[in-house]
Structure 1
């Protein structure tokens, strides 16, 4: 194994000079620094992590707090974690994954020990109990998500937050459908005791809403605001991601509003059950009913009907969170909220509003196309 002494001999300098270059504790001339770096690269020297931490008071580790619990959007969560890891490595950091549901205790553990230089916090809920600890912590932290159900009412003072602009995402869905002539739209979201909406099926509300995670409420706020602006009648029906729940919700939608010509889906688990149900009912997509979703690109692209969707930019959120932390660790102090503008991609699931709401198979039976 190559040692610091080997590097010193190869570069023709003392071991202390190599140590000063690695720690940055003393100014070394550029030619000497370059000669030492050349020797490091040539010999393949890697400083011992423990010694490097003692020398610099830094661990070179970022803690990623990603509690594993029911109700999480696993594909999105995993994609964020991968983006955090790859971006951290590009800046010379490793990632320590903390998956337990310890709440404030996990923050105190990182803050009170030398296990990580900074924290990235996921699964942020409304009135999250970790927030007071994060505001008081000396170690930098970035939240992926907003600790509120409304971006305008977000109490993010003293916090760094990165998230998709879910309100704008909801508005973008309505704008797209209104531009295609749709005037009656139904929203299939997740069960929501927090939103004060009745569930489409009996049972416990989703863990997402029990915790007060605000992205669903912010999306709905954007949908409703845009519907008012564009004169679109909006019906919201929370629903579980099972076929039975989707069938109950959609049946109820068409019973209450037979003229509904478009559906917006935020609960990605409901996407394939919905498309299967519409096929079973003889409703062609998008000829009879358009479907728009807020979901990851891989869900939209690989659906049985490629979905028009606002993508959840998981990779960008993970990358931005790390880059903000790296800047903070370098001495930059500004904090705030960075909302990523939504991008809607039109695919095969949305089209012009039909002149009537009669399913395709019924029209064929009456001599239609």
Structure 2
């Protein structure tokens, strides 16, 4: 038996409870991994609230790093004793150990710590696919990125800077704008005090950006379309402020034949080879010093409810990890 943080019904952070769960041996295509650090991500709140449906009871969490204890038949890229990390479905990371599918678990190179990997896997591979696997983005291109001081945002700022991409980052306070600028944003906009559409047009000489990356959702979606140049791409990848209402496709036409996609990381990770390549790209960026694992908060695993509350109240900066 191992300790785990789970919900028996959807609702607020107070529904997260400490339970004991059995951990058996891995079957074919599975591993058993003992966690050393666990990542907190906004997607965890979607499962907790019921926005994303799942069977109950549910151990939360999509990301962790640790040591492989056992492997099942057919697993060739990992062996017992390997240091490994993952961002993967199904949920179940908020536990001391678990048995899970092996295909999306990735070997960790020397020089990457468990906490770094737990802070980076989901957010970092999100940034990897946003910049490399949705629409071509080249050196000199302009990108608008919302919530640029958050965990994903800070990685995106650094990633863009390392590749010569002009990232315009938005945040809710001057302090958070400063964090985004330090991370690598070329320009920052405090959307609480500034009209971000007007500022984007000012920064781009009235042209607009080629790509918007929006993990906020409902509160920023519609006006973000006005930040795009003709035939620009809107990448909606999260719902931090709530899901985006239905979109009239004619609005995309009238605003300049805009492109729109709603992406999710796990589509890109579903292919084993692509997942491993994305993780290697991420670790290479980290080891080269192009990006950092900015851990703003650490909580004991049993304080998962408080961590969820802080995340939803926008009190966190950078990544949050659970310690064991």
| TM superposition score normalised by structure 2 | 0.37
Of the two, which has the highest radius of gyration? 1
| TM superposition score normalised by structure 1 | 0.34
Q: Which has the higher helix share?
A: 1
